[in-house]
Amino acid sequence: MPAYTFPKDLLDLQTALDEVQAEHDQFAQVLPWSAEPMPGWKAPKQLHSDHQPEKPDSPGYTPEQAERLAGCRARILELTTQVITHPFWATLDGPDRVEARTALKHIHDAAGPEA
């Protein structure tokens, strides 16, 4: 994959998007399994296994939890829109644009000199 020289503002947008996505994912892990109050359930034992799927009662999200989650999702949408509509993408042709977008998404995966 060729190396791309991304504009600083585009790199900053991608960094902000990665941070908000990570915050969202971490927060979602501690939320109840259902947004609305729901009774728990227990399914029959799985064939060829001792596993018996079950969920406890879910109290649903509190208004604060729902608001925080909606805020994260709105910010993710806003940042994603800014990234994909950035003028930099118009400087590349089809296949190069796809490769560059993939490279930008993974720019911080390996802490290289540009990261």
Q: 19-64, pLDDT tens digit by residue?
A: 999 999 999 999 999 999 999 999 988 888 888 899 999 999 999 9
| Average pLDDT of the chain to the nearest whole number | 92
pTM (2 d.p.): 0.83
What ranges do the domains of the chain cover? Answer: 68-115
Q: In the predicted model, is pLDDT for residue 114 greater than 50?
A: no
E strand or H helix at 41: strand 41-42
| Angle between the N-to-C axes of helices 94-105 and 8-29, in degrees from 0 to 180, rounded to the nearest 10 | 50
Residue indicated by tokens 């993710």? 76
pLDDT confidence of residue 47: 84
Residue indicated by tokens 């109050």? 37
Render the burial of 64-87: b for 16+ CB within 10 Å, e for the rest. Answer: ebeebbeebeebbeebeebbeebe
pLDDT band at 115 (very low <50, low <70, confident <90, very high): very low
